Structure 1
Amino acid sequence: MITFSEAQLVSWLSPILWPFLRVLAMFSVAPVFSQRAIPARTKIGLAFLIALCAQPVLGNQPVISINSSEALGTLVQQIGVGIAIGFAVRLVFAAIEMAGELVGLQMGLNFASFFDPVSNAQLSAVARFLVQISTLLFIVINGHLLVLMAVLKSYEAFPVDGHFLQSIQQMKLHEMGTAVFSSAFWIALPMVVMLLFVNLVLGIISRVAPQMNIYAVGFPVTLTMGLTGLVATLPLLEQPLLALLQRGLSLFGMPM
């Protein structure tokens, strides 16, 4: 009769369990992976498959039993690091959303707001459009694979040791907050400047020809120029998206 001791079971399950929890935590927050259209069983199965296939890459990991005193700290560390990776990628799309809100405000389309089930918030039509385009770009440039690679690389910077407070201190995730505002401004800057010039021209026209109903003419002109500017600037969206993604994932050991 074949028997297995508790130590043998722990040595087999521990190298798979902790990466599985980190990947699963990332799946619950990261864009694309966290969509409600993906069933929970699929996420759990995919997380287990990734943790199993990543064993040759992760190398020798410390064996931590579930019944040991270090298990609780290790559990919090794995969930915290996984959520932090997903949140860093979420901040990239938050910058795109903010840029879309700025552009929509200048175009006069902020009143056309819709409920976004992904972010659980109200988004304007322009912001929703830019987020959809960014999601497609994220998949085209293999951003989902970069996120999975960042999870594996994170074991070099944040190994399985249960020191979750030290891991939080080393992440410096707050630095991504400034990048969100600055990147959103630079993405929206060409459109904001162009629409500001259009509004300036409309203001001059209203002073030169007071009999013209500038409110009836201004909105179609601003909307047309805004849509034209969106079409012209969409090819430039890939570079800031990729730069933001690399900056966020570099916090977890990914090379820039």
Structure 2
Amino acid sequence: MFGFSEQQIMAWLSPIIWPFLRTLAMFSVAPVFSQRAIPARGKVAMAFVVALGAQATLIDQPVVSVNSPDALGTVLQQVGVGLAIGFAARLAIAAVEVSGELVGLQMGLNFASFFDPVSNAQLSAISRFLVQIFTLLFIAINGHLVVLMAVIKSFDAFPVNGHFMQSVSQMRIHELGSAIFSSALWIALPMMALLLFVNLTMGIISRIAPQMNIFAVGFPVTLTVGMLGITATLPMMEQPLLRMFEQALGVFGAVSF
């Protein structure tokens, strides 16, 4: 009659449990993976498949029993690192949202706000449009695969050892917060400069011809120029977004796009 000891069972389950928790935590906040269209059971199944398929590369990982005193710290570490990976990838999309809000403010379209079920927030029409475009770009450049690669590579930088606070201090995710505003400004800067020039032109016209109703003319002109500007500058927005992804996921050892 066959029998298995607790050490043997944990030697089989430990290499799968901890990558599973890290991947599942990443799925809860990462772009595309965190959408409500994907059911919770589907996310659990995908996380298990990723953890199972990663066993060929995750070698020499320590075995941590669920009954050991280090189990709680290990759980916190896996969930924390997984959330950090998804949050880092989400920062690039947040930069696009901020740039869309800046452009919409200059175009006068910020009053056209919609509820975004993905971010659970009100987004302007321009911001919603840019988010949808860059989400498609994220999939087209295999960004979802790069995020999965970041989860696998993160075990080299943050091995399973239960040192949660050490992993948090090593990731330094808070430093990426300033990158949101700098990247958003660089993305929106061409459109802001163009619309600023239009507003200055409208101001000069209102001084030259005071009888013209500048409020009735200015909005259609600003809206038309803004639409043309978005069409012209949209192809140039790819590089700032890619650099933002590389900077955010480079902390976890992900490959570049």
Per-residue Cα deviation, 1:160-190 (whole angstroms, up to 9, x for no partner): 0000000000001111111101010010000
Per-residue Cα deviation, 1:197-243 (whole angstroms, up to 9, x for no partner): 00000111111111111000000000000000011111112111111
Q: Aligned to 2:254, what secondary structure does the other structure show?
A: coil
In structure 2, what residue type is equivalent to 1:56?
A
- Paired positions, count: 256
Q: Aligned to 1:179, what secondary structure does the other structure show?
A: helix
Gaps of 5+ in 1: none
Q: Aligned to 1:174, what secondary structure does the other structure show?
A: helix
Structure 2 counterparts to residues 8-157 of structure 1, below 5 A: 8-157=8-157
| TM-score, normalised relative to structure 2 | 0.98
By how many angstroms is 1:148 displaced?
0.3
Q: Aligned to 1:114, what secondary structure does the other structure show?
A: strand
CA distance in 2, matches of 1:229, 1:57: 47
Corresponding residue for 2:201?
Answer: 201
CA distance in 1, matches of 2:2, 2:40: 35
In structure 2, what residue type is equivalent to 1:225?
V
Does the CA-based 8 Å contact 2:149-2:255 persist in structure 1?
A: no
In structure 1, what residue type is equivalent to 2:22?
R
CA distance in 2, matches of 1:181, 1:250: 19
Q: Aligned to 1:122, what secondary structure does the other structure show?
A: strand
| TM-score, normalised relative to structure 1 | 0.99
Give the share of equivalent positions with the same residue, in percent.
70
Per-residue Cα deviation, 1:33-66 (whole angstroms, up to 9, x for no partner): 0000001111001100000000111112111100
CA distance in 2, matches of 1:109, 1:103: 9
By how many angstroms is 1:254 displaced?
2.4
CA distance in 2, matches of 1:222, 1:21: 49
Corresponding residue for 2:171?
Answer: 171
Corresponding residue for 1:5?
Answer: 5
By how many angstroms is 1:255 displaced?
4.8
In structure 1, what residue type is equivalent to 2:200?
L
